[in-house]
Amino acid sequence: MSRILALVFILVVSAAHAEEATKPKFGPEAVPILKDSAYLREAPAPDYWTFSAFYVPQQTSSDCSAAAVTMAVNALRGLPPDADDEVVTEDSLLEEVGDAKWKNQVVDEGPGVTFDDLRRVLRESLDSADLKDATIDAVQPAAADSGSLDGLRKALAANEASADNVMLVYFNQGVITGDWDGPHISPIGAYDATRDRVLVMDVDRDWYVPYWTSTATLLSALVKPAPADQGVLAGATGGYILAAKK
């Protein structure tokens, strides 16, 4: 009998530990698009529909920058008119840009890019796609204060109002999803000003679908420093970049 009781005890404890270790797909700060798509039926949401056509996943553990920039280039460039013209892919973009540092940063288990690196490779990528006239406005908030929040809202509103610009965000993914604590890059698909929330078109598609989060939570994710285990990115913070074509 004692052996049976001991076995039952082990099973109960193991089950309890398993429950504690299991996390939901999304934490309380994120709402997947599958649960809330009302805004996309109510508003034009030009960026969402454009990015949906050009939505690509990151291919390695460190190439979120390449996937996000590929989406941005395609969104601003548009669908090529001729049958012989290819849609930009991550591989073709990296080859066309020819930035050896970027290529080394985005290999599997590579170091990844800083916010300044993201600004640089986005500029290079736009130039390579004959978008040399496109402008880039990069903002790296110092703190999650009211001034930074107002600035972010204004940038999001400008982004939502036009099909001629796109926004990329460099943020701590775990602040929003409740899981991995580290820097990440993805495009913004929509801004619902009435509910003060943004739709993140996360390129980490092995794990996520697009999700909503509050503008304040996004700002907190932008300013949270990368943890010490992130190598050369440790201590780095993020920001947002608005790229617009003329």
pLDDT at residue 119 is higher than 70: yes
- Which neighbouring-strand residues pair with 137? 242
pLDDT band for 22, please (50, 70, 90 cuts): confident
pLDDT band for 20, please (50, 70, 90 cuts): low
pLDDT band for 62, please (50, 70, 90 cuts): very high
pLDDT at residue 14 is higher than 90: no
Question: How confident is the model over 87-103, as a mean pLDDT?
Answer: 97
Per-residue pLDDT tens for 167-196? 999 999 999 999 989 999 999 999 999 999
Task: Of 194, 230, 200, 231, give the one whose Cα is nearest residue 213.
Answer: 200
pLDDT at residue 246 is higher than 90: no
pLDDT at residue 225 is higher than 70: yes
Continuous segment of H or E residues that includes residue 242: strand 239-244
175 near 220, Cβ under 8 Å? yes
Task: Of 200, 243, 232, give the one whose Cα is nearest residue 219.
Answer: 200
Q: Which residue has the higher pLDDT, 8 or 81?
A: 81
pLDDT band for 8, please (50, 70, 90 cuts): very low
pLDDT at residue 54 is higher than 50: yes
DSSP characters for the chain?
A: -HHHHHHHHHHHHHHHHHHHH---SS-TT-EETTT--HHHHHS--HHHHHHHHT----SSSS-HHHHHHHHHHHHHH-S-SSTTPPPP-HHHHHHHH--HHHHHHTSTT-----HHHHHHHHHHHHHHTT-TT-EEEEE--SSSSHHHHHHHHHHHHHHHH-SSEEEEEEEEHHHHHSS--SEEEEEEEEEETTTTEEEE--S-TTT---EEEEHHHHHHHHHSPPPGGGGGGTT---EEEEEE--
Question: How confident is the model over 115-126, as a mean pLDDT?
Answer: 98
Mean pLDDT of the residues in the chain = 92
pLDDT at residue 96 is higher than 90: yes
Mark residue 211 as left, alpha or beta (left: phi above 0; alpha: psi -120 to 50; beta: remaining): beta
| 196 alpha-carbon distance from chain centroid | 18
Q: Indicate the residue type of 243.
A: A
Question: How confident is the model over 112-117, as a mean pLDDT?
Answer: 98
pLDDT band for 45, please (50, 70, 90 cuts): very high
What percent of the chain clears pLDDT 70, i.e. is strictly above it? 91
